[in-house]
């Protein structure tokens, strides 16, 4: 499962981003994103067990300029920011600089690309945090000067690895070969339909392990199969897109692996667009200090949710009928909550049945349950309580 989840990335096909300056797609197009995307916040969670327990696998935020190129990428773990990347492009849309910073903002890595007049890379140099040159790549354009066909990379001063690209008559890359200093090579092959995105990719490792990924007509992965050296299928992952926004960009994907029904992954994306108000990641609900103190003593995996279309902003807006707990084990907790909130003791306690937030005839405005239920709460957004100022 983690193999599928870690692979699913907005870095999709970025290795080809500097191969042809005549028809260079932006990073937004590589990621099959539509519309004036300004930022994408992506969170990947793993769920296991018949009553799933949740574990965060990865989280990142990518910010784009209006052309669709990366400005900043930030990668997070459970303790906060892990890595910050900044990007600079030339007038032809070619990335010419990448700077990596640690959580304290210190520069730890820098990669600079020098280009010809057509904007095609000629050399790339990597520097460490002390400014020392540690890696250099030399690109070889074809006779037109616009398309990279070969490159060599050096760890200063010794040879490190080389690469070659093969294109079809329409200028689309069909094969990328990486050769390493131990005479091993990694091959990636691309097949296409009418759409600009690949219909499939086949990766072959130096050990002979083959990974085949199939894509739909919108450029979204549908399945990923991994085969061992002897040709036997090791595992198969499938991607199910459960939500899309008004631009038809997916916002939630369920990742499953054949033969393992009790384990799955959920990838959620919050996409903000230029000239539109930003989406709220977590809605803040003001509440009396007594209620906030009570909730802070609960298990951290007990989450609050409110309606995405009609979010609660203040606990005083609600009556007991507007609130629901899911799970019989929350009975005592629910009574304590309503007592602290100063509302009538009658409340909704859902012991079983469907967790689909929107499917209920009169969905609650505030829903309280375990964090693992989040993938089933269609139309809900996570909420947190904050004391009244």
Is 142's pLDDT higher than 90?
no
- The pairing of beta strand 173-180 with beta strand 158-167: antiparallel
Contact 61, 389 (CB under 8 A): no
Can you list the alpha helix ranges (DSSP code H) found in the chain? 2-7, 27-30, 289-296, 331-341
Q: How confident is the model at residue 141 (pLDDT cuts 50, 70, 90)?
A: confident
Contact 197, 34 (CB under 8 A): no
Per-residue pLDDT at 81: 92
Angle, helices 289-296/331-341, rounded to nearest 10 degrees: 160
Is 352's pLDDT higher than 90?
no
Kindly list the strands in the beta sheet with 380-387, ordered across the sheet, starting from the edge strand earlier in the chain: 283-287, 380-387, 302-307, 366-370, 323-326, 348-350
| Span 203-233, pLDDT tens digits | 999 889 999 999 998 889 999 999 999 999 9
Residue 254: both structure tokens together: 């369920």
| Span 56-101, pLDDT tens digits | 778 899 999 999 999 999 999 878 899 999 999 998 888 999 999 9
Q: How confident is the model at residue 144 (pLDDT cuts 50, 70, 90)?
A: confident
> Which is it for the CA torsion 283, 284, 290, 295, positive or negative?
positive
Mean pLDDT, residues 148-176 taken together: 80
DSSP classification of residue 206: T
10 Å Cβ neighbour count for 28?
Answer: 21
Cα separation, 47 vs 388, in Å, equals 35
| Span 256-276, pLDDT tens digits | 988 777 788 889 898 999 988
Residue 269: both structure tokens together: 């994306």
Mean pLDDT, residues 278-288 taken together: 82
Find the helix or strand (DSSP H, E) in which 351 lies: none
Per-residue pLDDT at 18: 46
């Amino acid at each position: 499962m983690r193999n599928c989840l870690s692979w699913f990335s907005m870095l999709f096909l970025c290795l080809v981003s500097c191969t042809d300056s005549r028809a260079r797609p932006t990073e937004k197009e590589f990621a099959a994103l539509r519309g004036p995307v300004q930022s994408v916040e992506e969170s990947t969670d793993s769920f296991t067990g018949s009553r799933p327990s949740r574990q965060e696998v990865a989280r990142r935020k990518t910010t784009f300029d209006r052309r669709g190129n990366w400005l900043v990428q930030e990668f997070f773990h459970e303790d906060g920011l892990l890595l910050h990347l900044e990007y600079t492009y030339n007038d032809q849309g070619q990335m010419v600089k990448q700077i990596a910073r640690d959580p304290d903002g210190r520069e730890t890595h820098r990669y600079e690309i020098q280009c010809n007049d057509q904007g095609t890379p000629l050399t790339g140099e990597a520097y460490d945090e002390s400014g020392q040159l540690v890696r250099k790549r030399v690109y070889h354009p074809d006779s037109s000067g616009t398309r990279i066909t070969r490159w060599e990379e050096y760890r200063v001063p010794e040879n490190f690895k080389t690469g070659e690209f093969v294109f079809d008559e329409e200028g689309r890359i069909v094969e990328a070969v990486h050769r390493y200093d131990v005479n091993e090579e990694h091959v990636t092959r691309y097949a296409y339909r009418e759409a600009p995105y690949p219909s499939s990719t086949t990766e072959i490792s130096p050990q002979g392990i083959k990974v085949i990924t199939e894509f739909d007509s919108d450029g979204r992965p549908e399945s990923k199969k991994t085969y061992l050296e002897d040709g036997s299928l090791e595992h198969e992952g499938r991607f199910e897109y459960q939500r899309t926004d008004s631009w038809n960009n997916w916002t939630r994907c369920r990742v499953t692996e054949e033969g393992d029904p009790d384990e799955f992954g959920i990838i959620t994306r919050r996409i903000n667009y230029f000239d539109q108000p930003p989406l709220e990641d977590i809605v803040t609900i003001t509440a009396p200090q007594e209620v906030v103190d009570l909730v802070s003593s609960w298990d951290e995996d007990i989450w609050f949710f409110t309606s995405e279309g009609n979010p609660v902003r203040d606990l005083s807006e609600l009556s007991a009928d507007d609130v629901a707990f899911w799970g019989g084990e929350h009975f005592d907790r629910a009574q304590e909550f309503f007592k602290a909130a100063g509302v009538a003791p009658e409340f909704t306690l859902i012991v079983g049945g469907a967790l689909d937030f929107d499917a209920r005839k009169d969905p609650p405005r505030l829903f309280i349950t375990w964090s693992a239920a989040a993938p089933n709460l269609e139309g809900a957004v996570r909420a947190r309580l904050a004391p009244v100022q």
